[in-house]
Each structure stands twice: as C-alpha cells, then as structure tokens.
Structure 1
Amino acid sequence: MPSSGFSGLVSSRKVDVTIDLGNPFLNKTVDGFLKIGTVAASSVAVEETYHCLKKGSISKAKVEDALKKMCKEGAHWGAVAGVYVGMEHGMERIRGTRDWKNAMVGGAVTGALISAASNRNKDQIIVDAIRGGAVATAAEFLNYLT
C-alpha cells in the first residue's frame, strides 16, 4: 500500500524538506517543484517589497497583487523544475548511468514541452529545446566545479 510522509531538516547552511510519496520519480519531481517554486515565490516577494519601499507606500491591493504574483511565478517555475527533474531522473533510469547527458536530454525535453504547452510554433519549440538542453548542461558542468 503506498504511503506518504513528510520530514524536515534544518542545518547551518541547508534547509532540506523531504516528502516521500513512495516512488523515487514522484519524490524527485515534487522536490524540484517545491524547491524552485519556493525560490521563485521568494524572489517575487523581495521584488515587491523593494518596490513598496521605493515608493514609500503599501496597500491591501498591493499585498494581494504581490501574493498573486508569488503564486503564479512559484507555480510556473516549480512546474518547469518538476518536469526537468522528472525528465533527468527518467533518463538516468533508462540509461542506467548518471552524467551530464541526462541533464542535456532532460533540459531539451523540458524546453520543448514547456514551449509546446505555451502554443509556440515549431521553430520556437526547437529553439527552446536547444536552449533548455544548453542551460541544463551548463548547470551540470558548474556543479562539477564545486
């Protein structure tokens, strides 16, 4: 019987939350969604706070607008990250190895899927797939440097 769990760990440099859905693919996908979605929502919160401080005013309407933007950006970037992490994990499982090629293919497939879901034309979908593969591969190479 599938079960789910939730646990968290707070250390000096890293905050890690684990949600166990009983399936490694789902676990990684949800983890990517939550982590990147939180970063995107936090980014909007900081931007909106800056704009309020710069103008020197805040209102209920501005707070509501900021919350809507936070949810929208968090969901958008979380979905992109969830698709990417799921694709990369799927490639790792299919190929039986963990290397930069999984990131490249995962990024390319994610770029193409997100582009196609946005009703882009065929040429733009290909460009977005190339861009997604390039960004994911670059990020993977940067991980090796640290």
Structure 2
Amino acid sequence: MPMSRFAGSLSTPKVDVTIDMGNPFLNLTVDGFLKIGTVAATRVLAKDAYHVVRKGNFSGHNFEHTLKKMCKEGAYYGTLAGVYVGMHYGAEKIRGTKDWKNAMIGGALTGALVSAASNKDRDKIMIDAITGGAVATASEFLNYLT
C-alpha cells in the first residue's frame, strides 16, 4: 500500500504588547486580561458580522449593539482570565514550585470566586470551583503534551 507523508511548518505572526506595571503579578494579570479579552471581543465581532452579512441588514443600531457586546464579553472573559492568571501565579509563588497543581489551585479559586460573586448557593460555588480546577488542570496537561 503506498504511503505519503506531509512535512512542513506553519507560523503565524505574533503580536505581543507588554505593559510594565512594576510588579510581575500585575504584569501577568493585565496581560491575561488583554489577551483573552481581545479574543472574546473578536469572537463577538466575527459572529455578529456573519449574522449581519447573512441577513443583509447593515445599520447603525446593529453596529452599536455589536460594539456593546464586544465590550461586555471582552471585559467578562478578560477579567476571568486575569483572575486565573493572578491566582496561578500566586499559587506558584506561595508553593515555590512550578507544576500542574498551581493550575488546579488557580482554576479552583477562580471558579469559586467568580461563582460566589454571582450567586449564593454553596453547592453551585463548590461545583464551579471543581470545574475550574479540572479545566485548568486539563489545560495544563495538554500544554505538556505539545
């Protein structure tokens, strides 16, 4: 049976903005906020642009609505990422080691904090803490594979 192989590389342009806040904790937190917030805002823009083109309804109202959604989701997910990065870094500094447990601690604390800010149900807060820890740990393990 004939076999074929594909070899090559793909690289994308990298844009990195550095804001020096004078503290590594703040630097990482702001960096996480900006990067993930930008991704969330871009997602909203792409999704709404698709719907506008599909419907053929270009209007100032649609533009204003999209802009508000971009700001809202960018701020929400940026804040979530900033809190996670800060918690992860804090766990790393407190424990004095770099390993997957820092991601688990950071994810669990972030899940619990975000959940506690939006509801008072203890079971829901615990479930969100466990989910945050599990997702962060899985993400960390996937990073080790690549």
CA RMSD, Structure 1 to Structure 2 (Å)? 1.1
Partner of 1:4: none
Partner of 2:36: 36
Q: How does 1:1-146 map to 2 (within 5 A)?
A: 12-146=12-146
Q: What TM-score results when the alignment is normalised by the length of structure 2?
A: 0.91
Matches of 1:21 and 1:128, distance apart in 2? 31
**What's the secondary structure of 1:17's corresponding residue?**
coil
Deviations, residues 90-146 of structure 1 (Å, cap 9, x unaligned): 000001111100000000000000000012411000000000000000110111111
Specify which structure has the higher proportion of strand.
Answer: 1
Partner of 2:6: none
Runs of 4 or more off by more than 6 Å in structure 1? none
CA-CA distance at 1:12 after TM superposition: 4.6
Deviations, residues 6-45 of structure 1 (Å, cap 9, x unaligned): xxxxx95321111110000000000000000000000000
Count of aligned pairs between the two proteins: 136
Gaps of 5+ in 2: 1-10
Matches of 2:58 and 2:124, distance apart in 1? 40
Deviations, residues 60-116 of structure 1 (Å, cap 9, x unaligned): 000000000000000000000000000000000001111100000000000000000
Instruction: Tell me which structure has the larger Cα radius of gyration.
Output: 2
Matches of 1:121 and 1:35, distance apart in 2? 31
Matches of 1:100 and 1:80, distance apart in 2? 19
Gaps of 5+ in 1: 1-10
**What's the secondary structure of 2:91's corresponding residue?**
helix
